[in-house]
Amino acid sequence: MTPTHGLLCGGQRRSLGRGSPGAVPPQPPQHRDQAVAVTPTPVPPRLSAVPRSPLRCLCTPRRPHGSDTPGRSPSPAMAGPPGLKPLVAVGQVTSTPDKELNFTACAGLVREAAGRGAAIVFLPEGFDYIGRDAAQTLSLAEGLDGDLMGRYADLARDCGVWLSLGGFHERGRDWPTTQRIYNCHALLDPAGRLVAAYRKTHLCDVELEGRVTMKESGFTNPGTEILAPVSTPAGKLGLSICYDLRFPEISLALRRAGAEILTYPSAFTVPTGSAHWEVLLRARAIESQCYVVAAAQSGKNHESRTSYGHSLVVDPWGAVVAQCREGPGLCYAEIDLDYLHRVRREIPVQDHRRPDLYGTVAAAGLAPAP
């Protein structure tokens, strides 16, 4: 029996058999301060040539770590134990206007994930803070060369992991003249270097009568480019942020440029999240045949803001393979690129497109992958 792509929970790396649908792996050990449940979900219709048993991982809040928790050297996160596929950790937090409190919470998640062998740790939009209003949001913003990003660079070095920091409130070079910020997805490597900085191109201006009003364009500049996918130990990473999820063009452009993992760090509201979050993420995974990783804000950020949560990972077949419970915590998944390429071979949608009928979705400056 060959192992399927792994589902990780509670820090135990497991090889799940490609046996009968609905087979349940052995339960991970229960800790006094961390209860973990692994339950099967119904198997969606699938090709007989892809005999997988999708499972959902529900991870409860993390085990507390002290500030003296030791970091790890870069080599385990980069290479991992022999025979295991790259492990990703997806964080879920409840950011507030208190930047120091937020950093402490995020650093604890990163250290825990690093200790469990994660190669990349994903944090959500607004991981640095979520302000009560536009004025506070602008006053708390920093540049990418500021103190906070420097602390995250130190954290990446100490733990030997890649960090996907989605939705950093960035004061760009034009701050002195515009007094507006960018919503920036920063990617750090295990040496703490800034490898990529994607600035959100689709700004969230929505008004749900009597429920939600958001006007991101009132204080944020839109980004002007889509970045080429970045090579990481887990695969080629395509960067997006939250509201970008509603625009399939960006995911298709990234797929054409070679992306294997799409990221959507987010802070969905409860009304939009409960209706659209999972279905949109699964749609992006299915149509692009990529893994989708979505770290999310969860819970009450301040007196007038509550976030939906449900951080998750979707595989290229569209199955949710890892998901967080309510509140701060982590979920884990292995990235199986052999499986990804098998899905693409057996349903070669990229080869079946008809640009003669409807054109090609491509981003300026991004060359198609060979």
Residues annotated as catalytic are 125, 200, 242
User: Which tokens is 117 given?
Assistant: 């062998």
Cβ atoms of residues 285 and 314 within 8 Å:
yes
- Cα 294 to Cα 148: distance, rounded to the nearest angstrom: 22
Amino acid letter, 357 = L
Q: How many CB atoms lie within 10 A of CB 101?
A: 13
How far is CA 351 from its chain centroid? 28
Half-sphere exposure of 319 (CA within 13 A, CB side): 24
Helix axes 147-159, 99-115, angle to 10 degrees: 20
Half-sphere exposure of 216 (CA within 13 A, CB side): 22
Cβ atoms of residues 72 and 78 within 8 Å:
no
> Which residue pairs, CB below 8 angstroms and at least 24 apart, start in 365-369?
365/225, 365/228, 366/226, 366/228, 366/253, 366/254, 366/256, 366/257, 367/228, 367/257, 368/256, 368/257, 368/258, 369/256, 369/257, 369/258
Q: CB under 8 Å to 14, separation ≥6 — which residues?
A: 6, 7, 8, 25, 26, 28
- Cα 107 to Cα 163: distance, rounded to the nearest angstrom: 11
